[in-house]
Structure 1
């Protein structure tokens, strides 16, 4: 049965220099995913003793790092990100959670510095490979950092969030469908311009196998925040729509651009901060694989 989350938290799809509440990862999703990883690794007592070091690649403000530290109480967790601001947020979060002694941070430019991160029993990465030119090479590099028996968990390219009805009473019906299509085209164009870009069929279990690992299962998590949304979710969506307008504004037709501007109006009842019909629905899929342990 696919779990559904109706609690706090949203995706961290587009990280930037925004307040942490605007890019808060899915707290419910991370808790469930972390427990699932532990189950895949084997009996609880044996896994707790065996997992001593975890890497959270592309950690952002450290939500996954802290959750993994809770689920694997004997492990030291390293939050790895290229943003010093995000790493500072991760340090604050860890201290507030009482995990400051076990969650540390490290700044790294990825994927060039994967090999310098040291060996790990578990590696978690979310929405990182899609921003790298050669995704297969990135997986091979991550796999090389695993200890024998270790696990790599990759969360990439889930279902795009939906948060508006087809007809919102302003502009032309179907706004979000058109925005999603424009964003996908922009993503494709950006990938084509990445250094060392290599085309690959994004079959993640197959890609993990090609990296020398044994796939151990994929699982999807449904994130369902029904209307009416709380303030944190609304602020997240306001930030998301503002980024979309900044990125696509010149490419949109006049009606859609004006509709976006109305949605961003913080004083208007038609704005995303006030609409009673705004919701949040998405799905995240996590793919896992392990490095075979050599026979004794």
Structure 2
């Protein structure tokens, strides 16, 4: 004898549990994005200032905007521009809108919730499209690049900003009981991401050319921030390593997992928040490409 009500209740509970997990993931990711924006604000601003625009853009699209690190750097650097901020996460867009209101920029920002692997929304005819750490998440980035080329104003510019990898925070000889732990964690994470994100770490120059763009600039940005006295760097390191742990716990050696958990235990004596030797070391590359239409 079936029990449809019990089954429905079980289904609803499973759905609610997944919904809660998705929301928690969204919140965790938002926190990392906002720490990234805070710690790397000068570097993001320097990339915006470097962009080889022929005239100050009036309409900008920020693809995969997250909580707005690029959006606000572009608003600051191009005070006459409006930004359409596009992301799949409603939560990220809500945070971005709150920040825009807080700084008096609400009228200059439009948010659009969209899955860019599906149907593209109407994004107008922007003079500048900014895609920071978002292109490698696309299921078909070549299709996305062609679509961007179609919507850009004649002579418009696309900026693709990509990370060489997740930031490093610890010295090579740390932690003392498991030296090199961070590199082993990153190696495990990169093996996992190679399967799910095959375009991460790609050379976007040839892809841009194949999509009909003319590459007009490429720049590497090296980040090396000493953070021993910066509380935000500690929180950034904590959040980043927590996120990595979630994907690699089952593949780490037991000793490494224990050492990682001691770093992530904010109440313990080995907490990463108690260290005075943290830094932020990472690299980014930006490609600037002119529309071929």
Contact 1:57 1:126 in 2 (8 A): yes
- Find the aligned partners of 2:245 and 2:283 in 1 and give their Cα distance: 24
SS in 2 for 1:133: coil
Structure having the higher helix fraction is: 2
Mapping for residues 1-296 of structure 1, pairs under 5 Å: 16-18=26-28, 20-24=30-34, 25=37, 26-37=40-51, 40-42=52-54, 47-48=55-56, 51-114=57-120, 116-191=122-197, 202-292=202-292
Larger radius of gyration: 2
- Find the aligned partners of 1:203 and 1:265 in 2 and give their Cα distance: 38
SS in 1 for 2:167: strand
Contact 2:175 2:181 in 1 (8 A): no
Q: Structure 2 regions of 5+ residues with no counterpart?
A: 1-24
- Find the aligned partners of 1:245 and 1:169 in 2 and give their Cα distance: 16
- Find the aligned partners of 1:129 and 1:20 in 2 and give their Cα distance: 18
- Find the aligned partners of 2:267 and 2:224 in 1 and give their Cα distance: 27
Contact 2:149 2:292 in 1 (8 A): no
1:92 deviation in Å?
1.3
Q: Structure 1 regions of 5+ residues with no counterpart?
A: 1-14, 193-198
- Find the aligned partners of 2:197 and 2:221 in 1 and give their Cα distance: 26
- Find the aligned partners of 2:175 and 2:107 in 1 and give their Cα distance: 52
- Find the aligned partners of 2:26 and 2:68 in 1 and give their Cα distance: 14
**Change in CA separation of 1:191 and 1:61 when aligned onto 2, cut-off 3 Å:** closer
- How many correspondences in the alignment? 265
For the aligned residue pairs, the C-alpha RMSD in angstroms reads: 2.1
- Find the aligned partners of 2:134 and 2:72 in 1 and give their Cα distance: 19
